[in-house]
Structure 1
Amino acid sequence: MKLVVQVKLLPAPGQAAALEATLRACNTAASDVAVVARESAVYRNYDLRGHVYAGIRAGHGLGAQAAQHVIKKVCDAYKTLAANIRAGNLGKPGSKRRRRVERNPISFRWDAAQPYDARMLSWQHDARTVSIWTVDGRLKQVSFTGSPDQVKAVAAHLIGESDLVHRDGMWFLHATVEVPEPELFDPGGFLGVDMGIANIAYDCDGNRYAGARLNGYRRRQARLRARLQAKNTKSAKRLLARRRRKEARHAANVNHVIAKTIVTEAARTGRGIAVEELTGIRDRVRLRKPQRVTLSSWSFHQFGSFLSYKARRAGVPLVEVDPRYTSQTCNRCGHRDTRNRPDQETFNCRSCGVVAHADHNAALNIAQRGVEGWGAVNRPHAA
């Protein structure tokens, strides 16, 4: 399986200037290529190369590999844009926003990430340096650092494509590494996990991973941003710039910790993990205006992706199940009724009288659906 490992570059001032010039040249070229692609309606990599390859090499001083990566980056950006348009993420057909993105070419920030391959980037793991192509020539002995796990990962595994990233005045390489993936074991049951906003996760063993602290943290950050934006002073803008990713990093760390705990418990008990399939939930649900910010900041996709890759690395099977009516159905007798859930926390079956936490009841239903789904795919002819 492929993992992305981030290491931090420690360039000297002259090296940093060369890296900055390289990103500026590559992204200026990418914006020019995007204009040609839009005007000629050519978005396939090979076809677009015939229109722009010679021009961006001569006009922007790019090497052969860099020019090809720039063209591929533009094609990938238009492919992503088309997918977002099809999914309705950029408005309905005929809307002002959708017409604008369909008409105007994509533009790239000067410091947008630039892909590198093995011809443009080599690693010296013993010296902990890299040799990297720039528009000013090859930079050698550019130091890098990272956590022990990050440094070990790039040294021990095959490195594929890497991205040069400039963020908050620092330089990073996001290296794609190929790590061995263990075979999935045959699970003796499933650990059902109900994902939510009030509780980030609630498993069928009764373990609750509350979201109150994270939601409170997000509300405090929103109030602080509002106060700083209202001040509109230079110092307030500097503080906003420094804090702009703090909330996202904190939420990602919380999701990492919870996902690791769940995967470790599933592996310890020999069970798989069953979660709800929540794709498109923001389009399906209707909420009052005060609830929309909370739903928009709910990072369920990130949490689900963390669960998925950590489970794969541990050899733990993970299945996604139909989320419909899991919170309205009694896990004991199977009776389904909207009145079974009188409030957010409480489940009270109108048929058999069982009382439980609503999320725990839902997690038990998810675990049962995980067993049924796994058996239908992997043991379809079992007696």
Structure 2
Amino acid sequence: MRTYYFDHAATTPMHPDVVRTMLELMQGPGGNSSSMHAYGRAAKQQLNRSRDRISAALCCKPAELLFTSGGTESDNAALIGAARAQRKRGKSHIITSAGEHHAVLHTCEWLKKEEGFALTVLPVDSSGLTSPEHVRESMTPETGLVSIMHGNNEVGTIQPIGEIGEIVKAGGALFHVDAVQTLGHLDLNLRELPVDLMSFSAHKINGPQGVGALYVASGTLLEAIQYGGSQERKRRAGTENVAGIAGFAEAVDICVNDRQKKQLFMDELRKRWIELLMTNVDVPIIVNGNEQNRLPHIVNISFTGVDTEAMLMNLDMEGIAAASGSACTSGALERSHVLRAMHLPEEQIQSAVRFSFGLGNTVKELEDAAYIVGTVVRRIRNNY
């Protein structure tokens, strides 16, 4: 059976050049980058080269880049580390939005419950946008940290982080941005963006799983949340994953060099997919998210009258990998908190499926898969 992978927002296949880069290092003599001997110095040089490559692509200083195990750790390190540092300055109020990834939302809720921080969770509109004015209105002299994602992982809506960042800066707070979904799809110039902390993950850009990074602007106070050695300028203890970080750097180089071409092609795939579904599916479809400010590779679609869980199970049986865009808990589908935050009709929420495209997908593949989706929808409706 032929298979179709349309879940690149969850994770992406590794690029062949990334695999080769990592394999060369993994088959080498090894070495701990904290060791003083020749093997350790070689590992340290490789680590430094990788940091230089990634920082150059992001237009930041190498010393401003902290390596982590992925987006979740980067979000946790930024939020907990910055919130604790800001509290020492008399600022114990955090602002975020209802449309954030759980790595941000759950961490902010934990800071409120366990450490006593005040928390404001801003609403999003029906397209998933956070209003800069809502941020402005929520700022107080006690606000120490604001966290708003760049591009939403479920509906693809892009937030106005430039405008929001200026408001946060004027209010004397730190601004954290989860950019896990936007690296490789949008231009990121950290010299120009009013951002203090930004989270990244390698496996969203055809790099390895288990590797990420956190941008920490020079002068930003950040307390370490992991203790042990003095790695990463004493901000994140633990032996660095040199091979994984080298793979991350290779992936960043590829995605930055191919970004404009890739963006155009992803946008073409997205538009064509919507057209194909409108032709092949016998029920009305609704595209969720913001039509103007959106990522090119993500499309969230509600199939009117067709249950999400039934849809995903049947698509999987036909070889099509898609997602609800939300968590799976104890084997039961948890409906999207993002769509609920957008206050969409319940029927729209209960029938939403996220498709996301990337390396390996083609227009011909989408044409074949759209016919299968139409067949699946008819099968589900006939069984009801």
TM, length-normalised to structure 1: 0.26
Structure having the larger proportion of residues in helix? 1
TM, length-normalised to structure 2: 0.26
- Relative CO higher for 1 or 2, CA cutoff 8 Å, sep ≥ 6? 2
Structure having the larger proportion of residues in strand? 1
Q: Which has more radius of gyration? A: 1
